[in-house]
Structure 1
Amino acid sequence: MSENRGVKVGFIGAGRMATALAGGLISSGFTTPDHVWASDTFEAARERFAQETGAQTVESNLTVVEQAEVIILSVKPQHVADVLEEIKGTLTDRQLLVSIAAGCPLSLFVEKLGKTKRLIRVMPNTPCLVKQGASAFARGGQASETDASLVESLLSTVGIAVEVPESQLDAVTGLSGSGPAYIYQVIEALSDGGVRMGLPRHIATQLAAQTVKGAAEMVLETGEHPGTLKDAVTSPGGTTIAGIHALEAGGLRNSLMNAVTAATNRSIELGKQS
């Protein structure tokens, strides 16, 4: 496979996540618009993908497979088996297949495509749409460390990416996959608190969202434990410790831990059903 710059990337499925990822690949210089293709059965999706990325779109999935070195499968889970059946005769062992289809295990791809294919399964999250994603991926088939490095670079164009064993992807789903919804509720609740105390709604929401964003950046940029950063703004007898005491009384930490656990368990259930 060639160097990252100019890698030929094909998307089967041209939805919002595929469009965002293609945009990140192109804007970062990972590849160029003339080296990106996308297929989709919906003309509107193809038109939006082309308009937002400048890349090429086609109706045929096989055309994408014939052109690309890396094929990113971004269709709905219920369509995965049919797509794999369609492309299995065209996909070669030299190509890397990356799936962002939720809940579809690597064993399904091995079953449909064989053990010799290079496979990577990804669990992204919706902040990829604004280049702030938190993705995890697992290798399967004959995928190599070089393939893993390539996918990490690819996903890093829209956020951060980490490699985990496939057995941990359900936990990733419960944490970062579902996590944005938890944080939206936190932002909404903080905004409600501000409104209750007299702030206009638009100001309260703006301050709440930026506070969450800023706190997250502090964790990522400093590398400090969140507890250490919390202590740094918690003065004895001050306002912050009064607020933290109220959060402890309301069971915030327990609720968030339970949310991750519940979402992880549900992901496991859905995986068994698929």
Structure 2
Amino acid sequence: MTEALNRHYQLCEEIGRGRFGVVSRCISPETGSHYAVKSIDKRLTTGDLLDSQSLIAEPKVLHLLSQHPHVINLHNHYEDDFHLHLVLDLCSPEDLYSRIVSRRFIPEPESAILMSQLVQAIAHCHSLGVAHRDIKPENVLFEVCNGRLKIADFGSAETFKDGELMSGVVGSPYYVAPEVLSGADYCEKVDVWSAGVVLYVMLAGFPPFYGDSAVEIFDSVRRANLRFPTMFFQSVSPSAKDLIRRMLCKDVSRRLSAEQVLRHPWIISAGGGSG
């Protein structure tokens, strides 16, 4: 462990584990505040250039985005020859995915509030020239101290300038936008597509595009044949379905921007506020 980290924080129990390291709870003896520290073993990424680049990029992106109420906040970071430690907001073990699984679906008013907070974070990222590129329920966390929604895991994030397109196939099967899979360059609206899938999943309990394998899922996403099965959507309002259609629009030029999503009547009328 980096000596500087140990000088400033008292490490506690492990609360998570990933491909490249562990997440632990830690306490600042100076303030008594609790945080999460994501400790990454850089030696595990040496064989993969993309993984190495994302490790370098993530703290820079988080510094750029910090202090937004719905983006995971980077409080400190420390690095030595073998490890990178990111001191982050402490979030609950229950992410949005766990919440949906345990409850089967999220009622419309609550979904509107969560979607408003999620898209506020996405709009903030886009305004600063950052595309997250891996929006999914597993990357939507809730802060321990107040339950506030936070988007996390910026390992796939990319920076862009106005009008500048991005490239590279990144994202997660159910949530990735069709233009990413086509191999063409794409814009930041890929995040709006992914958020639209998240909204569908919150209301229905299952994704709009699916299959028995990654290949089948990708084929379904490319076709983008959006349906609202009556059994699951009979009590969902026309306004909610309208917003989903506008977010899951295959024609990127007609797909809503994050700012436009926030102005949609369903978000405004269903009580989606600043949180």
State the TM-score, normalizing by the size of structure 2. Answer: 0.33
The structure number with the bigger radius of gyration is 1
**Quick check: which one's helix share is greater?**
1
Q: Which protein has greater RCO, CA pairs closer than 8 Å, 6+ apart? A: 2
State the TM-score, normalizing by the size of structure 1. Answer: 0.33
